[in-house]
Structure formats: C-alpha cells, structure tokens
Structure 1
C-alpha cells in the first residue's frame, strides 16, 4: 500500500471497529500508523427472523405515522430481510410514508442509500436526544415504529412513547455476538497492559463494554482502566464518549458535529501527528 504521508509514522493505534474494520485501519495506515486490528464484536441477523418478517409485513400493509431509526445497521438489516422475503420494493415504498426520525447521521445515511431522507434529526445522537426531539411533537394516538439498537429493548424511549399514549411497535433486526474473537480480544488487553500502544479508537459503546468484560474475565479490569489513562483514548461520537466516561475512562478526543470515521482520523492526526519536512 502506498502511504499518503507519514504524519502518524510510528504511532501505534488499536482499532476495534467491526463492520468497517479494514477501511478504518487502511485510513490510518495510509498516514503511517501502526495498526492493531481487533474486532471486539460481530453483528448478526436477529435469530428471531419470524418476528422481523412479521414486523416488515405489518409495516408494508399499514405503514405507521412515525418511524424512529436508531442505527444505520438496523435499517440495512431490515432492507436485507425484506429482500429475502420479496418485500424490498414494498418496504421502500412504505418507508416513504411515515415521518422519519433518526438518532444520528448513520441511519440518515442508510435512508439516503434507499433514496429517502430523514424528516427530523435528534437533537443529540442518543436515545435521550431522540426523546427530547419527540417532546416537541404531538404523539397521542399516533402509531410509532421503533427500530431498536441491537437487541436492547430501550425502555426509556419506549416508555416515553407509551406515556404520551402513542401506539408503539418495535423491531430488533440484529444482535451482537459477544463471544466473537475472544482470543484476539485477550491479546488486545495484554497489549494495552504492556504499554505497547499509543492510542485506541472506539466506534461503538458495545466495544467498550466488550473490552472491559474480557478484562473482568481475565481479572485485570482495574489494571486495564489504569493502562487506558496512559494512552490517547478516542471516541467517534458522544454515545461512545458517554459510555467511556461512565466507566471512568477519560476521552482525549472526539470529532465535533460529524461522527464518522474520517473525522475521527482527522482528530487522531491533529492530536498525534507530527510535522513533516517540507
């Protein structure tokens, strides 16, 4: 691979991205970084496909008044599931009917790939941000469909909608496989403990939980938390930053306003890059 430059030459960065691991790692390597790749989690279609298919059929037959999309991954999985059952075109047509509310930029990007766009973007890319946005809307008696984040039931969001007398339907089109790549995660923990890295870049809250789960299994969680204080910890956005901070982990950098990999790479370059000779 031809490097764009060596602004991150010699910087050792752990990249626990799952779905787009190779793309993220290559962006850093082109800038000279040494990258330790470690997929902390893998994502799979929901094992309860009959429930997903029933939700899709009901959505196509009688589209809701509002649709809340929490993740881009969820919408992509729904489109794939609809295609498997011959409903893709009907589903996309039905998606155009409700008011579309997205938690952040990723579900908005997934909508645009389907030829649509969000009607409302949450004030903050969190469930609390979605609730804050919904508080400005009359929802009593409206049918609201919610695409969940993984298999988490999101009780605060669903509870709010039920509390304002909305009729709620939920779908969980994918799950996280927490047992993925155990030995590689253990190797990442050991590399962090040994001080072999300069930075780690988290792109989902699930990655944070998974890393600490393995550290607990290895009986070294306290040591890992201490080790993380000695390197640059990067978060792709506020959801991930909040998860880290709740665990007592300081967040050293985060993109502002655009929570994607490219802005995250730019922040890593700004924080860790070095001047190149003219």
Structure 2
C-alpha cells in the first residue's frame, strides 16, 4: 500500500459522527490486551469520515482505537425503491429476460430485490436472474447475490467495472442482451462500451448519489482540514471523494490540503484504488489498503499511525498528538496545559527548554515561575515517571531520552 506520514490536530467545527457497533475490523481471535493496545494507536488523532452509508460503523471502529471522529458526508444517497422507472425496468426484464446480468454493488442489488418485492416482483426477478449469466463486480456484490439464493458465474477480482468490460468485450458481446445494475455514480462506461460492441443494454439504477445532507458541514470540513485541524480524512467511494475535493476547490483550500498531505501533516485514506483515483488526479498520494474493505481501511490507518517513529524516552516510547499523548502504550491523563508543555519538551528531543519558553505555552500571560513548577509537577504525576522530566537548574527542563548504543 502507499502511505503518507501525518501530524496531528483537532477540531470541533465539523459534526461528530454517530457511532454504532464496531463490526468493521475487530478480529474475534484478538485478546482483550491486544485490543486495548490497538485502542491507543489513534489516541489524539482527529479523523474525518466523509461517508454517508455505513459512516457510524466506520466511525465506531476508528473511535475504539482512540480517534476523535468528525463526520461530513460529502454526498447523500437517494434510494429508488419507489421509483416508477426502476419498477418498469424490472417488469421489462421479467417479461423479456436478458442473457447476462452485471451486478455492480451489493447494496444496489439488495435494494433492487427489495424494490421488486415491494411491488410483488421479487419472485419473478429472482427466477429471471437464475436463468441468466450473473457477473459480479467484487465480493460484496457476490455476497448480495448469494443472499438472494443465486450464484455469481464470474467475479471481477479487481472489483472494477473496467475488468468486467475487458472480459466481456474480449469474449464478444454482439447480439447479447445485457442488463446492468448501476451504482450511484453511473455506469462507468459499461453501457456505452457494450452498446458500441453490438449488445442490447438495459440499465437499472437502484440508488443514486445526491447532494450532501449539510453542505455547510462539508465546507467547514475542507477548511478545517486545510487549517491543520484534521489529521486524517477517510474516503469510501469515488463520487464522495470527488465531491469533497470539489468542495475544497470551491472554498479555495485545495492547495493547502495537498500541501499538508505532501508535507506529512495529513493522511488521505481511500478504501480502494477506484475511490483513490480523484485524489491521485489531484496529485495526492493517498493511503490505500491492499483489500477494498472498511476493515482493511481501518487497519491501514491504525498501522500507519502505529508505525510512526516514537520518541524513545526512559519511560518508554512517547507519541504526542494534538489531542493526547501516549507513553509506553498508555494515554496520559493530561490537562491542556500539561499537553502543551509535554509537546514542547518532546519537540526539543532531549535538549533543554528554557523556563521562559515553557511559560509562554501556559494559559494567560503569566511570568510566575511557580505556575510552571506546578504544571511540571502535575505532568510528572500524570506520566507516572520521576525520571522522565529532568530539571536543569536555572535553565529549564528536558526529557530524559533512552540511551542509544
């Protein structure tokens, strides 16, 4: 997978995500201790979820690993379950069965069967599909097909419409009758390619992408990302990726977002190569998991942050993020002032930080040395280590780093 490194940040300007059961990336064989360790990995990181569908599931999986979640759905999903055109197209298929059916999405196929069932056509639709050659665009589409009691005759390993077009066109489609169940972004060129090659093509759109539920939230999210208030943005569909980038263009902050990504201050993570394409076209280098699954996306983000270099201190590895600090695998119970003092000490990487410089990050404009001493004492208590923060008489403080051979 490709990856970018990241810094950390926080924001309250984007709507918090609504959580749900974490069914995305947990391994049943993982021990409680392992899960506790995983949960610390994203502590202090702010992750923006741009999805509408399954957003709660994705957000819950990230939050369980310590992330602060913000939610800005870049697009809404408009179902066609009551669409007269879909019903009419389904009746047409049942009356005049195709020889090939292409299923592009699991949710779309399930919605199609549900829409047919609502008007008494489900039995006829399933019987029609059973007599056709069924092509699935990936495992999720195949799973939905199997749930309907059917079997996919061929599954695109790359999970792309391009592979479906390549295989069927190589076989030859002239004179064939092909029905294509489309996803919300449209047909990916399948209709035109098959028609040009001599096939009869019938399209069925079960849902479509609509405007975002709250455009103002999306606009706020792109500005917050450019301003450094978001650590990672996760994308689960190409249309939503393109829509979010379009919002960034409209706000005039695309260059700032790309700059943060290139400099390592922002992770742009996409569930698969198709979803990543709009980011690549903008010149970004997104984090893309090896498998196009939400669970794989979560693991990729966790692995990325877990692989960032820690500051090796005498009390254990130290990561200092915008919202939290993790020492030896444990999130420290720090006040905002304590976190800022620790951040400054960590940036110095063992060098002495002057008292005046440390006083400057405390609230207000205090020059009272006693206030700094109290803040450092509380910080020492929170870290649980008497040796981590060293006092350098008449100069300031420094972190005690682990000696390297």
TM-score > 0.5, shorter chain as reference = yes
Structure 1, unaligned stretches of length 5 or more?
none
Distance, in Å, in 2 between the alignment partners of 1:174 and 1:116 is 21
Q: Which residue of structure 1 lines up, in the alignment, with residue 198 of structure 2?
A: 165
Please point out which of 36, 50, 64 is paired with 1:16: 50
Q: Which residue of structure 2 lines up, in the alignment, with residue 232 of structure 1?
A: 267
Q: Is the 8 A contact 1:146 1:168 kept in 2?
A: yes
Q: Summarize the alignment of residues 234-253 of structure 1 with structure 2, pairs less than 5 Å apart.
A: 234-251=269-286, 253=287
Please point out which of 19, 41, 61 is paired with 2:75: 41
Please point out which of 102, 106, 109 is paired with 2:143: 109
Range 130-139 or range 163-172, more displaced: 130-139
Distance, in Å, in 2 between the alignment partners of 1:235 and 1:277 is 27
Q: Which residue of structure 1 lines up, in the alignment, with residue 351 of structure 2?
A: none
1:173-217 Cα shifts (integer Å, max 9, x gaps): 212112421121122112202211221111111111111222233
Question: Offset of 1:219 from its aligned partner?
Answer: 3.1
Say whether 1:213 aligns with 2:250. no
SS for the counterpart of 1:44 is: strand
Distance, in Å, in 1 between the alignment partners of 2:158 and 2:52 is 24
Question: Offset of 1:151 from its aligned partner?
Answer: 5.6
Structure 2, unaligned stretches of length 5 or more?
1-18, 23-31, 308-316, 318-327, 331-405
Q: Summarize the alignment of residues 58-77 of structure 1 with structure 2, pairs less than 5 Å apart.
A: 58-77=92-111
1:96-152 Cα shifts (integer Å, max 9, x gaps): 221111222221222122222321112522222211121342422111001123262
Q: Is the 8 A contact 1:10 1:34 kept in 2?
A: yes
Distance, in Å, in 1 between the alignment partners of 2:185 and 2:204 is 9
Structure 1 segments (4+ residues) deviating >4 Å: 274-278
Range 23-32 or range 190-199, more displaced: 190-199
Question: Offset of 1:48 from its aligned partner?
Answer: 8.3
Distance, in Å, in 1 between the alignment partners of 2:80 and 2:252 is 31
Q: Summarize the alignment of residues 84-233 of structure 1 with structure 2, pairs less than 5 Å apart.
A: 84-150=118-184, 152-154=186-188, 156-229=189-262, 230-233=265-268
Range 18-27 or range 184-193, more displaced: 184-193
For these two proteins, the number of residue pairs brought into alignment is 275
Range 207-216 or range 145-154, more displaced: 145-154
SS for the counterpart of 1:135 is: helix
Distance, in Å, in 1 between the alignment partners of 2:230 and 2:198 is 51
Question: Offset of 1:234 from its aligned partner?
Answer: 1.0
Distance, in Å, in 2 between the alignment partners of 1:104 and 1:47 is 23
Larger Rg: 2
Range 3-12 or range 28-37, more displaced: 3-12
SS for the counterpart of 2:44 is: coil
